[in-house]
Amino acid sequence: MGSPSSESGLIKVAIATGNGVGVTEHFGYATDFQIWDVSTSTPRLLETRRNIPGCGADRSAAQQRDPLDVSVDLVADCRAVVVAKIGECGVNRLAELNILAFETDDTVDSVVRELAESSLLRERCPA
């Protein structure tokens, strides 16, 4: 399997936003991730993925998977995750998949423009 986002030249970034304007969600509490392509100077929203939050969620007894695994799997094809906050377990799980984690309280627009203009995600190679 290739590195995240490598299949079609896209550089996907997952952004945890509760309002579509700002980066507002903690990784463990995020209910939605906007998936952006930042491979060109014009970032493009690809989709919004619904998440079952790993923290504080009303979970059924039938769900046997680790809640954090559900969130990590949801963004596994992304090169980076941008959230308001993320714990050490989340950072470590993402790092195992060569996914960078960023914390910010900036706007979604600002974040995607900065990532599209940066070479950071283009230079990221699998370990």
Tell me what pLDDT residue 119 has. 82
DSSP states along 72-102? HHHTTT-SEEEESB--HHHHHHHHHTT-EEE
Assign residue 15 the CATH number of its domain: 3.30.420.130
Reference 28, options 83, 75, 98; nearest CA is 83
- The answer as to whether 83 is a domain residue is yes
Tell me what the mean pLDDT of segment 89-108 comes to: 96
Other Cβ atoms within 10 Å of 95 Cβ, number:
12
CB 67 within 8 A of CB 50: no
Q: How far is residue 91's CA from residue 82's CA, in Å, rounded to a whole number? A: 11
> Among all chains, which residue has been given the structure tokens 């619904």?
50
- The answer as to whether 71 is a domain residue is yes
Considering the chain, what percentage of its residues have pLDDT values greater than 90?
65
Q: How far is residue 19's CA from residue 10's CA, in Å, rounded to a whole number? A: 24
Of 57-66, 88-97, 99-108, the range with the lowest mean pLDDT is 57-66
Q: Which domain holds residue 71?
A: 6-123
Q: How confident is the model at residue 70 (pLDDT cuts 50, 70, 90)?
A: confident
- The answer as to whether 117 is a domain residue is yes
Q: What is the pTM of this model?
A: 0.84
Helix crossing, 88-96 with 67-74: angle to 10°?
50
Q: In this predicted model, what pLDDT tens digit does every residue of 16-35 receive, in sequence order? A: 999 999 999 999 889 999 99
Please state the φ and ψ torsions of residue 48, each to the nearest 5 degrees: -120, 125
Amino acid making up residue 110: S
- The answer as to whether 1 is a domain residue is no
Number of domains in the chain: 1
